[in-house]
């Protein structure tokens, strides 16, 4: 009996590595600290009522941002561990198995649990305000999406200390990820962690499409929408077309592993190549899903800080749509070398190069917007400026990779690693940072310290080039990706050391950002409603926005309606008439999304360990939650006019 | 019981656009259509894998050897009829006839149940004859595709039943009306998917 328990425990808890014991201890300490603090300050009801059950898109957005910054930390630590290992030849800091686990979790976490939720956070924080709406189309579903992401991410993360991490790369190609080669539970954590959060992403896609199509303020025609809203629409359209493919692909992999199926096995007629096609039919559009909103953010920022209307609005919209459509016809460029044939390769090489055209259009439009503008350079604008050279170089090396014959050389080398980090960090991460800096005062009602922000900016940017430029060279010198060590004789030593130093510089940049936030909370400087002299609707309401966002819905004719309104008022014209106050209809909070997602966690955990006694109650719980929601008719309430008046007066009194 | 709250919900949704409220019921229908598109892509992916693995029987039994068409034709007939009865339910709803509405939904559920039981019988027979999910890639694809459709039908059954209870409690109002419309949309969708299953999985295999 005792032996059985011991054996079980040694499989269940990952043991034998000091790094993991360290993680165990820090997780336990953090949990104890959080529970004690919540109990001591009697904050449990506050947590439940104000946050866990909220359906307010602004709060959901904040929770997304916090969760994704935590994931950025975890993914960043992974990155630095890898870079430490690679800093010197023949290093024995990480074992090869551990290295495999780390590059897998790093990739998954950065893309699915850092970039995606940060993006959803910005959708939530900005879109309803920017289109003059009081909420998203489906507030309940919105909260459910968040909690599914959250519990999915947690399920993926516990694999580190319970059961063991996946180690077959961030896209988990079979047969490596099949039962024969990966018998452990790591792959199952991968499947269910991503599956659960992926369902949330799909629902967010649907939610924001309906929100944007149906809830714009009267007068805001489609071709008058702010550019960020357009980019979110195109990103969400891409989500609803791409994510179903991911859902199915993971389900098929699960059927192979769990029910002994043969979709992707090497025997009994299975076809691993089919997985690679399917996963990239999702994977390539996914890259554009995360970059399109960054384009939207840059368009907003460049117009605001150039004090000019965005150059080439129509071509910008067209470029967004062109990119999201073309992104579906390029997937095979990820496996030029796998014997698909010259004609197929040629087709995908050409479609890939075509994407460079609309992207180039956008870059030129941003430059033309700045040309002869009245420029200013606060932090959001700095990130925008840092992005342009980074993205141009990343785009060019991407075109180099898209030349099929050349790819036989670059394939799976550090050249590729440098390329995609250049677009992912320089485009996605810098883009979302810019967005966070830009909308921060609107969301939280206070400004972030500019000086610390500039330190962060320079550390990230310089660190970036120091880290990744040497990697292009290393790639050309023959260093392949996913190697955990190399010999002195290769001559890769100095460049790898430089690259590692660059990685740590970016780490310092991150520390500056955390410091900046803490510092700005401590020495809080209240932000006015319109701190940047903005152009779009979100700047017309108090910071932070009241629960109901807009006391009365504006009629937003004209592309930069708020900007034009300010000009009109400056010329002494009366402000546009607003309708009189009416009671505001709002959705009620609900605990169901949180509880239902927790049941998903239970079900997923049960399936990971093959414990039906746990999985089945989990699924029953999910169904019961759905029915409970369906039977609930008391889902909304009204905010009376008096209360709106009080809230608005208080906001005005705060010295806007 | 909760009659007055219903009215509250429905009057709110017809408040006109200016309280920033928009047409709630219309938005939900639109959201559901988009959901159907995503579901359609999921089935499309499954069909694609099935077509790729169509010949990958790895020396095991083929579909042509084991499929028994009379049972499949009966399933098809039953599902098509249930789609028709769900349409009759919507007609009854639009006439405001709650009894007929619930009655036709009940008929739909019964037909759906017999579809599922026929399908399960088919699966058991196949397994008995030596074709289970791990026999070959072909059978893995078969069970996954047909099983996913069956799972959708089963979810639909629970869902329709839940709506029948709500209709009995709250009667016909804008909220329940929207729910009935959406579930019948879903049910027709499953019908369309089944036609594809019938053609691609069964007819093309045995012909
Ligand atoms: C903060 C600085 C970062 C550093 C220093 C860094 C470093 C690394 C390293 C050393 C690898 C492993 C290369 C190999 O051995 O194959 C890697 C892989 C990867 N990184 Fe990063 N990374 C960073 C940020 C990011 C970000 C922001 C993203 C995405 C948004 C990202 C996405 C990926 C992906 C997808 C992989 C491939 C994983 C795989 O091979 O399965 N990284 N990174
Ligand atoms: Cu690609």
Taking CA atoms, what residue in B is nearest to A555?
B18
Please judge whether B9 and A137 are an interchain contact, meaning their C-beta atoms are less than 8 angstroms apart: no
0.90 surpassed by pTM: yes
Residues near B191 by beta carbon (within 8 Å), at least 6 away in sequence? B79, B80, B82, B83
Q: Is A115 in the pocket of ligand 1 (CB under 6 A)?
A: yes
Q: How far apart (Å, rounded) are the C-alpha atoms in residues A178 and A172?
A: 9
Phi, then psi, of A619 in degrees rounded to 5: -70, -35
DSSP code for A308? S
Q: How far, in Å, is the centroid of ligand 2 from the Cα of A331?
A: 5
Mutate to test the pocket of ligand 1, among A101, A417, A480, A484 (most ligand atoms within 8 A of CB): A417
Name residues 12-41 of chain B within 8 A of A (Cβ).
Answer: 12, 15, 17-23, 26-28, 30-31, 34-35, 37-39, 41
**Beta bridge partner(s), residue A584:** A639
Please judge whether B136 and A269 are an interchain contact, meaning their C-beta atoms are less than 8 angstroms apart: yes
Please judge whether A132 and B136 are an interchain contact, meaning their C-beta atoms are less than 8 angstroms apart: no
Q: How far apart (Å, rounded) are the C-alpha atoms in residues A108 and A329?
A: 23
**Beta bridge partner(s), residue A446:** A526
Q: Which residues of B touch A256 (CB under 8 A)?
A: 140
Which residue has a Cα nearest atom 27 of ligand 1? A425
How many angstroms away from the CA of B91 is the closest CA of chain A? Answer: 23
Residues near A181 by beta carbon (within 8 Å), at least 6 away in sequence? A168, A175
Q: How far apart (Å, rounded) are the C-alpha atoms in residues A161 and A21?
A: 8
Q: How far apart (Å, rounded) are the C-alpha atoms in residues A617 and A611?
A: 11
* Listed residue (A94, A26, A379, A64) closest to A204, CA to CA: A64
3 state SS of A560: coil
* Listed residue (B9, B4, B1) closest to B175, CA to CA: B9
DSSP code for A549? S
Ligand 2 (ion): residues with CB under 5 Å are A 284
Q: pLDDT tens for residues A109-119?
A: 999 999 999 99
How confident is the model at residue A654, as a pLDDT? 61
Phi, then psi, of A177 in degrees rounded to 5: -85, 0
The answer to whether A133 contacts chain B (CB < 8 Å) is: yes
The answer to whether B53 contacts chain A (CB < 8 Å) is: yes
Please judge whether B37 and A252 are an interchain contact, meaning their C-beta atoms are less than 8 angstroms apart: no
Q: How far, in Å, is the centroid of ligand 2 from the Cα of A327?
A: 8
How confident is the model at residue A316, as a pLDDT? 95
> From the alpha carbon of A72, which atom of ligand 1 is closest?
27
Q: How far apart (Å, rounded) are the C-alpha atoms in residues B178 and B183?
A: 9
Spell out the long-range contacts of A393-401 with Cβ–Cβ below 8 A and sequence spacing 24 or more: A393/A422, A393/A426, A394/A419, A394/A420, A394/A422, A394/A423, A394/A426, A394/A427, A395/A356, A395/A359, A395/A360, A395/A423, A397/A422, A397/A472, A398/A352, A398/A356, A398/A423, A399/A352, A399/A353, A399/A356, A401/A333
What are the tokens at A34?
């959080």
Identify the residue whose tokens are 């336990």: A28
Q: How confident is the model at residue A138 (pLDDT cuts 50, 70, 90)?
A: very high
Residues near A80 by beta carbon (within 8 Å), at least 6 away in sequence? A503, A504, A507
User: Does residue B90 contact residue B134 with C-beta atoms inside 8 Å?
Assistant: no
User: Does residue A160 contact residue A154 with C-beta atoms inside 8 Å?
Assistant: no
Radius of gyration of chain B (CA): 20
* Listed residue (A416, A395, A560) closest to A476, CA to CA: A416
How confident is the model at residue A161, as a pLDDT? 87
Taking CA atoms, what residue in B is nearest to A279?
B45
Q: pLDDT tens for residues A293-345?
A: 999 999 999 999 999 999 999 999 999 999 999 999 998 988 888 877 888 99
Mean pLDDT of A586-602: 96
The alpha carbon of residue A302 and the mean position of all alpha carbons in its chain are separated, in whole angstroms, by: 22
Please judge whether A623 and B158 are an interchain contact, meaning their C-beta atoms are less than 8 angstroms apart: yes
Taking CA atoms, what residue in A is nearest to B56?
A269
Higher pLDDT pick, A192 / A91: A192
* Listed residue (A340, A228, A245, A233) closest to A285, CA to CA: A245
Please judge whether A248 and B35 are an interchain contact, meaning their C-beta atoms are less than 8 angstroms apart: no
Q: Is A508 in the pocket of ligand 1 (CB under 6 A)?
A: no
Q: How confident is the model at residue A22 (pLDDT cuts 50, 70, 90)?
A: confident
Which residue has a Cα nearest atom 19 of ligand 1? A107
Please judge whether B19 and A268 are an interchain contact, meaning their C-beta atoms are less than 8 angstroms apart: no
Q: Which of B38, B161, B178 best tests the A interface by mutation, with the highest count of A CBs <10 A?
A: B38
How many angstroms away from the CA of B86 is the closest CA of chain A? Answer: 20
Q: Which of A175, A210, A584 best tests the B interface by mutation, with the highest count of B CBs <10 A?
A: A210
Region for residue A307 given its phi and psi (left: phi exceeds 0; alpha: psi -120 to 50; beta: otherwise)? left
Q: How far apart (Å, rounded) are the C-alpha atoms in residues A380 and A531?
A: 12
* Torsion sign (Cα): A360, A363, A369, A372: negative
* Listed residue (B16, B178, B179, B73) closest to A553, CA to CA: B16
Q: How far apart (Å, rounded) are the C-alpha atoms in residues A227 and A173?
A: 37
* Listed residue (A259, A348, A328, A252) closest to A288, CA to CA: A328
How confident is the model at residue A469, as a pLDDT? 96
How many angstroms away from the CA of A133 is the closest CA of chain B? Answer: 6
Q: pLDDT tens for residues A75-95?
A: 999 999 999 999 999 988 999
Taking CA atoms, what residue in A is nearest to B55?
A269
Cis-peptide, bond into residue A396, ω within 30° of zero: no
Q: pLDDT tens for residues A610-652?
A: 999 999 999 999 999 999 999 998 888 999 999 999 998 888 8
How confident is the model at residue A655, as a pLDDT? 47
Q: Is A474 in the pocket of ligand 1 (CB under 6 A)?
A: no
By residue count, chain B amounts to 207
Going from N- to C-terminal start, the domains of chain B cover 36-206
Residues near A163 by beta carbon (within 8 Å), at least 6 away in sequence? A11, A12, A14, A184, A185, A186, A189, A608, A609
User: Does residue A228 contact residue A130 with C-beta atoms inside 8 Å?
Assistant: yes
Mean pLDDT of chain A: 93
> From the alpha carbon of A108, which atom of ligand 1 is closest?
35
Question: Is the per-residue pLDDT at A527 higher than 70?
Answer: yes
Separate counts of helices (H) and strands (E) for chain A = 22, 2
DSSP code for A448? P
Identify the residue whose tokens are 């920017």: A130
Q: How far apart (Å, rounded) are the C-alpha atoms in residues B108 and B83?
A: 7
* Listed residue (A549, A529, A592, A439) closest to A136, CA to CA: A549
Question: Is the per-residue pLDDT at A574 higher than 90?
Answer: no
Q: Which CATH superfamily is domain B36-206 in?
A: Cytochrome c oxidase, subunit III, four-helix bundle (1.20.120.80)
**How many of the other CB atoms lie within 10 Å of CB of A543?**
24
How confident is the model at residue B10, as a pLDDT? 37
What are the tokens at B44?
């499309």
Total CB pairs under 8 A between chain A and B:
144
Please judge whether A249 and B45 are an interchain contact, meaning their C-beta atoms are less than 8 angstroms apart: yes
In CATH, what number does A42-579 get? 1.20.210.10
The ipTM value here is: 0.93
Please judge whether B19 and A133 are an interchain contact, meaning their C-beta atoms are less than 8 angstroms apart: no
Name residues 210-249 of chain A within 8 A of B (Cβ).
Answer: 210, 213-215, 217-218, 240-241, 243-245, 247-249
User: Does residue A369 contact residue A302 with C-beta atoms inside 8 Å?
Assistant: yes
The helix or strand, by DSSP H or E, that contains position A362, with its residue range, turns out to be: helix A342-370
The one-digit pLDDT tens for each residue of chain B (207 residues) are 333 333 334 333 333 333 445 678 889 999 999 999 999 999 999 999 999 999 999 899 999 999 999 999 999 999 999 999 999 999 999 999 999 999 999 999 999 999 999 999 999 999 999 999 999 999 999 999 999 999 999 999 999 999 999 999 999 998 999 999 999 999 999 999 999 999 999 998 887
Complete DSSP assignment for B52-66: HTTT--TTS--HHHH
Residues near B70 by beta carbon (within 8 Å), at least 6 away in sequence? none
Name residues 141-170 of chain B within 8 A of A (Cβ).
Answer: 141, 144, 158-159, 162-163, 165-166, 170
Complete DSSP assignment for A574-642: PPPP-PPP--EEEEPP-SHHHHHHHHHHHHHHHHHTT-HHHHHHHHHHHHHHHHHHHH----EEEE-HH
Please judge whether A263 and B41 are an interchain contact, meaning their C-beta atoms are less than 8 angstroms apart: no
Nearest to A206 among B15, B34, B58 (CB): B34
Identify the residue whose tokens are 């995609």: A420
């Amino acid at each position: 009996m005792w032996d059985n328990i011991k054996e079980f425990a040694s499989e269940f808890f990952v043991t034998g590595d000091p790094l993991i014991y360290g993680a165990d201890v820090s997780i336990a300490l953090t949990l104890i600290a959080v529970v004690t603090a919540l109990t001591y300050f009697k904050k449990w009801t506050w947590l439940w009522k104000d946050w866990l059950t909220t359906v307010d898109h602004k709060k959901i957005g904040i929770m997304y941002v916090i969760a994704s910054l935590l994931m950025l930390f975890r993914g960043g630590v992974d990155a630095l561990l890898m870079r430490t290992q690679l800093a010197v030849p023949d290093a024995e800091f990480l074992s090869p198995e551990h290295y495999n686990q780390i590059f897998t979790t790093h990739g998954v976490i950065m893309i699915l649990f850092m970039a995606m939720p940060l993006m959803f956070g910005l959708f939530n924080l900005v879109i309803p305000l920017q289109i003059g709406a009081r909420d998203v189309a489906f507030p309940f579903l919105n909260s459910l999406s968040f909690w599914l992401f959250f519990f999915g991410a947690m399920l993926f993360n516990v694999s580190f200390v319970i059961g063991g991490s996946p180690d077959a790369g961030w896209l988990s190609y079979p047969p490596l990820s099949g039962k024969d080669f990966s018998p452990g539970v790591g792959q199952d954590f991968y499947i269910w962690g991503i599956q659960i959060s992926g369902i949330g992403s799909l629902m967010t896609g649907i939610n924001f499409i309906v929100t944007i199509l149906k809830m714009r303020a009267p007068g805001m025609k489609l071709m008058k929408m702010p550019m960020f809203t357009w980019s979110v629409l195109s990103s969400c359209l891409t989500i609803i077309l791409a994510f179903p493919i991911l859902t199915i692909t993971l389900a098929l992999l699960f059927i192979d592993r769990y029910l002994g199926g043969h979709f992707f096995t090497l025997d009994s007629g299975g076809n691993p190549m089919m997985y690679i096609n399917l996963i990239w039919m999702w994977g390539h559009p996914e890259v554009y899903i995360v970059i399109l909103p960054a384009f939207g953010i840059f368009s907003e920022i460049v117009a605001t800080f150039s004090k000019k209307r965005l150059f080439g609005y129509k071509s910008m919209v067209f470029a967004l749509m062109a990119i999201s459509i073309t992104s579906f016809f390029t997937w095979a460029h990820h496996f030029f070398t796998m014997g698909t044939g010259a004609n197929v390769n040629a087709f995908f090489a050409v479609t890939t190069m075509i994407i460079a055209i609309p992207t180039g259009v956008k870059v030129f439009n941003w430059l033309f917007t700045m040309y002869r503008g009245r420029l200013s350079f606060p932090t959001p604008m700095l990130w925008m400026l840092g992005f342009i050279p980074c993205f141009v170089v990343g785009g060019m090396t991407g075109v180099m990779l898209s030349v099929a014959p050349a790819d036989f050389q670059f394939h799976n080398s550090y050249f590729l690693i440098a390329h995609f980090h250049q677009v992912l960090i320089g485009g996605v991460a810098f883009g979302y940072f810019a967005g966070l800096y830009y909308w921060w005062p609107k969301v939280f009602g206070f400004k972030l310290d500019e000086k610390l922000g500039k330190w962060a900016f320079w550390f990230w940017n310089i660190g970036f080039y120091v880290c990744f430029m040497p990697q292009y060279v290393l790639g050309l010198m023959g260093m392949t990706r996913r190697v955990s060590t190399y010999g002195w004789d290769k001559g890769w030593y100095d460049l790898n050391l430089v690259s590692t130093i660059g990685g740590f510089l970016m780490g310092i940049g991150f520390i500056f950002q955390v410091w900046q936030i803490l510092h700005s909370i401590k020495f809080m400087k209240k932000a006015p409603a319109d701190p940047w002299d903005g152009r779009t609707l979100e700047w017309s309401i108090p910071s932070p926005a009241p629960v109901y966002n807009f006391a009365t819905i504006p009629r937003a004719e004209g592309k930069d309606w708020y900007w034009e309104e300010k000009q009109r008022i400056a010329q002494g014209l009366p402000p546009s008439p607003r309708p009189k106050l009416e009671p505001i209809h709002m959705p009620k909070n609900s605990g169901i999304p949180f509880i239902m997602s927790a049941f998903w966690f239970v079900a997923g955990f049960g399936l990971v360990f093959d414990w039906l006694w746990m999985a089945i109650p989990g699924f029953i719980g999910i169904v019961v939650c759905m029915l409970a929601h369906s039977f609930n008719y008391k889902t909304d309430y009204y905010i009376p006019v008096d209360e709106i008046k009080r809230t608005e007066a208080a906001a005005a009194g705060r010295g806007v | 019981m909760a009659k007055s709250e219903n009215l509250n919900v429905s009057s709110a949704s017809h408040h006109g656009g200016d309280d920033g409220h928009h047409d709630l019921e219309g938005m939900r229908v639109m959201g559901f259509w988009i959901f159907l598109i995503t579901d359609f892509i999921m089935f499309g992916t499954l069909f694609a894998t099935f077509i790729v693995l169509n010949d990958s029987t790895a020396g095991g039994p083929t579909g042509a050897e084991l499929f028994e068409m009379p049972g499949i034709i009966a399933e098809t007939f039953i599902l098509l009829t249930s789609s028709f009865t769900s349409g009759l339910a919507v007609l009854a709803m639009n006439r405001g006839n709650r009894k007929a509405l619930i009655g036709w939904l009940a008929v739909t559920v019964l037909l759906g149940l017999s579809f599922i039981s026929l399908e399960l019988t088919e699966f058991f027979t196949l397994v008995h004859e030596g074709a289970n999910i791990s026999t070959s890639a072909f059978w893995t694809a078969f069970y996954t595709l047909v099983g996913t459709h069956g799972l959708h039908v089963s979810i639909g059954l629970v869902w329709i039943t839940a709506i029948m209870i709500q209709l009995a409690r709250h009667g016909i109002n804008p909220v329940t009306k929207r729910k009935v419309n959406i579930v019948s949309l879903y049910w027709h969708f499953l019908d369309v998917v089944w036609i594809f299953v019938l053609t691609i999985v069964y007819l093309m295999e045995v012909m």
